[in-house]
């Protein structure tokens, strides 16, 4: 579990700034849970009562900052513009099964990630309950749920990372699509 600073959030079609000196900026298409009502110490049985809906988050991450510079992952997850969110929130009644949503991400037109929320390690109910036992969740808070295989860090035979001028396009069935251009900070 890690936090993402507010400065990371930006629009689904806004540019993403590659930080100065970044060597390992990476992509991550993720389902985001949007909290609708205050949640503290919520049971799994009551978790869905606190969910307003879902949206897409591109959990952009600088892997060197995150992994190689010690301490918490927050610094690699919280760079300015590293959380494109949207294009809209879809209410939970419109998504009958958040644990079966196809998702994908392309970089410069090449498919990098293809997955489905059914492969999430922890489902929506478990995540809302679990997080609420450590952090009081408030309306509008977002829980980003994790990404399918295909991030740049995991590419074989060598990792692949983002650079200014590239374009990311991503989507989740029923939640829309996003597109960002990478620019130098």
pTM of whole model > 0.85? yes
82-107: pLDDT as tens digits: 999 999 999 999 999 999 999 999 99
| CA–CA gap between residue 21 and residue 117 (Å, rounded) | 33
Q: Cα separations (Å) of 39 from 32, 45, 113, 141?
A: 16, 13, 32, 10
103-139: pLDDT as tens digits: 999 999 999 999 999 999 999 999 999 999 999 999 9
Across-strand partners of 113?
A: 105
12-27: pLDDT as tens digits: 999 999 999 999 999 9
31-44: pLDDT as tens digits: 999 999 999 999 99
């Amino acid at each position: 579990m890690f936090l993402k600073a507010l400065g990371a959030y930006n629009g689904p079609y806004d540019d993403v700034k590659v930080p100065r000196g970044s060597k390992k900026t990476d992509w991550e298409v993720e389902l985001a849970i949007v909290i609708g009502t205050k949640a503290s110490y919520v049971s799994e049985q009551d978790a869905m009562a606190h969910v307003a809906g879902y949206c897409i988050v591109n959990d952009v991450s600088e892997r060197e900052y995150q992994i190689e510079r010690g301490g918490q992952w927050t610094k690699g997850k919280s760079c300015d513009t590293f959380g494109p969110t949207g294009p809209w929130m879809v209410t939970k009644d419109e998504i009958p099964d958040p644990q079966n949503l196809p998702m994908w991400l392309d970089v410069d037109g090449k498919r990098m990630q293809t997955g489905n929320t059914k492969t999430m390690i922890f489902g929506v109910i478990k995540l809302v309950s679990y997080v609420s036992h450590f952090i009081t969740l408030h309306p509008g808070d977002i829980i980003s749920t994790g990404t399918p295989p295909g991030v740049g860090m995991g590419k074989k035979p060598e990792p692949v990372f983002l650079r200014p001028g590239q374009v990311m396009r991503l989507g989740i069935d029923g939640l829309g699509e996003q597109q960002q251009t990478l620019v130098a900070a």
